[in-house]
Amino acid sequence: MKKILLSAAAFVVVAVSAVSIAPTTSEAIPAFARQTGAACLSCHFQSFPALAPFGVAFKMGGFTDVGEQALVEDDELSIPSSLNITMMMRFKYKTVKTTTKATGVTSSSTTLEMPADQVLMVGGRIGSALGGFGEISFGTGGGIGNWQLINSNDFGDFKGGIGLYNAGFGPTGAIEISSVFGQHSGKLNGGFVSAVENLITGGSLFGNTLSVAAWAGSDMGLVQLAAVAPGAAGNGTNTGNRLATLARVVFTPEFSGMNAMIGGGVISGTTGTTTLGYAKLSDFFIDAQVQGDVGDMSLGIYADYASKNEGNLAVAPAVSVKPGATTGFSIRAELEPVHNVLLGIGYGSANPVGTLANETRTQFSATYHFYQNVELNFHYNEIKNPIATTTASKITETYLGMEALM
C-alpha cells in the first residue's frame, strides 16, 4: 500500500510540474463538440463523463443543438452536413493482486493493453427533435453497441419525449443526467465505489440494459418512467417478453454558486429472457452531488445509497424467489487543485442483509489533462471481503492508462 501511495504521489508531482510546459488548449474535439462548436469542458464538469449544466441541457435537447456547423435541410429533414465521429484510443497498464482467505497467499497478474479499446463513437443530430449516440467496436464480438436515441420536444418551460436505449451504463441510461454513478472505466473511475453501479448496474441483471422511457425535464430537474429489461451483450437484443418498471426523479437546485443534484429511483416487477429465465425485482436508490468552484479550485462531491432485492433467475416467473436485500452506500470527492490536474478519493460499502459479509471499497485516483480530450489516468482500487467471491479476502488493482479522443 505504501509503495502504491508513493507512486501516486510521484505521478501527481510529475503532472503538476508539467503544467507550465504542456499544451492546454483543445485542438482535436470529439463528435458532439464538432456539432455544437463548444469546447469539451462546456458540456463536462472537470472531466468526461461528468456533466455540467450545459451538458445536461444538450442531452435534454436530444443531442440536436448545433453551432456553426452547416445543416442539410428540407421537408422533414435536418441533419449536419458532416457525420460527426470520434475515435477512442486508449492504452492501459494494470496490476491485480488477490489475497486468498484460506491461505493468506497473494497472487498477482499484470496486463498491458495497447490498444485497450477499439471504438468509434458516432453521435449527434438525426432530426430537428431526434438525436442519438452509438459505439462501433472492432475485434472479437465487435459491432454496434451502447446506443441510444433521444426524442426531445419543447413544451413551454420544459422538454419531454421518448428515449430508446440498449447499453451497459445501467437501467437509468435512457436519459441520465446525474454524474454520481461514474460508469466510465477510465478517468477517475468513480463507478468503482458507487453503490448503484456495483449493486444495481454492474452487480445484477442490468450490466447491459434495454430500455424504453418517457421523460420530461427542465432546469429544475428530470423525471423518467421506463420499461427495462436485461439486454444481450453480444448483439444488443432482448429475447424476453417481460420488462420491469423504472421510475426515476432528479432535482437540480443551485445554492451559493454551486450546482447540486439529488434524486432517486425505484425498479420493480418481473423481467427476464426466455433463454436466461426471469427475476423479480424490488430495487431502489438515492443519489446526490454538488459541483462548483471553491476559491481557485473546482470540487465535485458524489454520494449514493442503493438497496438491491432481486430474485434468482428461474425458468418461470412464478418460482423466482427474492433472497433478501443487499444494501450499500458510497461517497467520493474529485478536486482540481491546479490547472490540468484532477485528484479523487472514494469509499464504498456493501452488506447483504442477514449475513456477516461486509465489503468495503477504497480508491485513490489522479488525472492529468494534456488537452481537454487527452488524459493520463492513474487509480488504485482496493476491495476488502468482496461479496462477489467466497475465496478472496482482498483484491487490489493499480491502473495507469492514457486516453485520447479524436
Residue 337, pLDDT score: 94
CA–CA separation, 8 and 11 (whole Å):
5
CA–CA separation, 312 and 320 (whole Å):
6
Q: Which amino acid is at 318?
A: A
Model pTM? 0.86
Tens digits of per-residue pLDDT, 153-197? Answer: 999 999 999 999 988 888 999 999 999 987 665 567 788 999 999
Tens digits of per-residue pLDDT, 277-332? Answer: 677 888 999 999 999 999 999 999 999 999 998 776 555 554 444 456 889 999 99
Grid cell, residue 391, equals 475465496
Q: Catalogue the long-range contacts made by 170-173 (C-beta closer than 8 Å, 24 or more residues apart).
A: 170/196, 170/197, 170/200, 170/201, 170/206, 170/209, 171/200, 171/201, 171/206, 171/209, 171/211, 171/226, 171/228, 171/246, 171/267, 172/224, 172/226, 172/246, 172/248, 172/265, 173/148, 173/209, 173/211
Residue 276, pLDDT score: 61
Residue 5 has pLDDT above 70, yes or no: no
Tell me the average pLDDT across 347-354. 89
Residue 228 has pLDDT above 60, yes or no: yes
Tell me the average pLDDT across 104-110. 93
Name the residue with cell 463538440. 33
CA–CA separation, 84 and 78 (whole Å):
14
Its domain, for residue 214, covers: 2-405
Of 371, 381, 319, the C-alpha closest to 348 is 381
Residue 23, pLDDT score: 31
Of residues 238 and 294, more confidence is placed in: 294
Most confident by average pLDDT, 2-6, 41-45, 401-405: 401-405
Average pLDDT, the chain: 83
Q: Are 208 and 166 in contact (CB under 8 A)?
A: yes
Of residues 239 and 247, more confidence is placed in: 247
Residue 51, pLDDT score: 87
**pLDDT range class, residue 20, cuts 50, 70, 90:** very low
CATH number at residue 8: 2.40.160.10
**pLDDT range class, residue 387, cuts 50, 70, 90:** confident
Residue 210, pLDDT score: 86
The domain tally of the chain equals 1
Tell me the average pLDDT across 371-392. 90
Residue 145 has pLDDT above 90, yes or no: no
Tell me the average pLDDT across 353-359. 80
Residue 29 has pLDDT above 50, yes or no: no
